[in-house]
Structure 1
Amino acid sequence: MAKVAGDLKTPTDLASNATKSVADALNSVLADAFALYLKTKNFHWHVSGPHFRDYHELMDQQASEILAVTDDIAERVRKIGNTTLRSIGDIARRQTIADNDADFVTPQDMLAELRDDNLKLVQQIRAAREAAETAGDTATSSMADDWIDQAEKRAWFLFETGRGG
């Protein structure tokens, strides 16, 4: 018979204390994913210059990819019997990726900042994957591998796009 996790009574074979640590790590990833999504859209909206079209489209594509993964992360938290982020304030309290509210950012600085932020997200996902592996949560660990690959690919594209520019 399946165990029931937390107050939500979600059926799972994972221990509730293990799912709590995984959920905490995933909520940190989720907060950073939302922060990175909004920063990527911000730069998409404000990029200018000779490579406008290429940068504008690259950032839009990457923002869409980041937003898509947020639902997977939040649903995983819920599947293991925990709650997830509830507001912009909740995101702000948890995020480690810094906002950029500057009136003007050069395209090269945008690319470099997004590259570094994607690599920071990779670190957060790796920590969540480690928590999942410790908890015996192979599903989260497997999903994290895909999220890492996506973020590394975004960082690589940003690096190559900004190379020598």
Structure 2
Amino acid sequence: MSQKVTQLLKQIQADSLVFYTKLHNLHWHIEGPMFKPIHEATEKIYDEFADVFDDAAERIIQLGDKPYVTLVDILKNAKIKEESATAFQPVQVLKIILDDFEYFMKLFKELSDVADDAKDKVSADYANGILAVLEKEIWMLKTQLK
């Protein structure tokens, strides 16, 4: 087991739960003419990040370590910040999501590289699968924000 791989997986686990919660806030409080498509898009993304949270935790266990199990630990270790505002305009929501997707892109690239170095093909494949999705989502968001 590579300690660095499990540390990165724990970082992903913590950040994905905070992002999941942030996405709910955006989902509930989007306002304006793009309400419906952004409301639906944020729901799709938070469903996907519920899986990221769970998959990271399960991979940590498979590697012989323990995932975070309390919100205290999650919040103490997450680098993604919560969002406390309760009203969002469409462009603002897209920029928030883009910023967090770009952060996750860096994190999953690091996991892919570290897992490759550790000859952990399963963790590398997991990271690469998420990277493919993030890369496409980032491209779409950047195009929409032009």
Q: Under a length normalisation based on structure 2, what TM-score does the superposition of the two structures give?
A: 0.91
In 2: Cα distance, 1:158 partner to 1:64 partner: 18
Aligned to 2:46: 63
- Report sequence identity in percent: 27
Larger radius of gyration: 1
Aligned to 2:85: 102
**Of 104-113 and 54-63, the range deviating more from structure 2:** 104-113
Aligned length: 146
Confirm or deny that 1:131 pairs with 2:114.
Answer: yes
- CA contact under 8 A between 1:28 and 1:94: conserved in structure 2? yes
Aligned to 2:128: 145
Structure 1 stretches of 5 or more lacking a match?
1-15
In 2: Cα distance, 1:103 partner to 1:70 partner: 24
**Over aligned residue pairs, what C-alpha RMSD do you find?**
1.5
Confirm or deny that 1:87 pairs with 2:70.
Answer: yes
Q: Under a length normalisation based on structure 1, what TM-score does the superposition of the two structures give?
A: 0.82
- CA contact under 8 A between 1:85 and 1:91: conserved in structure 2? yes
Displacement after TM superposition at 1:156 (Å): 3.0
Deviations 1:105-136 (A, max 9, x none): 32211110111101101111111222211211
- CA contact under 8 A between 1:31 and 1:92: conserved in structure 2? yes
- CA contact under 8 A between 2:29 and 2:86: conserved in structure 1? no
Higher normalized helix content (fraction of residues):
2
Deviations 1:19-49 (A, max 9, x none): x221111100111111111111110011111
Structure 2 stretches of 5 or more lacking a match?
none
Paired residue for 2:14, among 23, 26, 31?
31
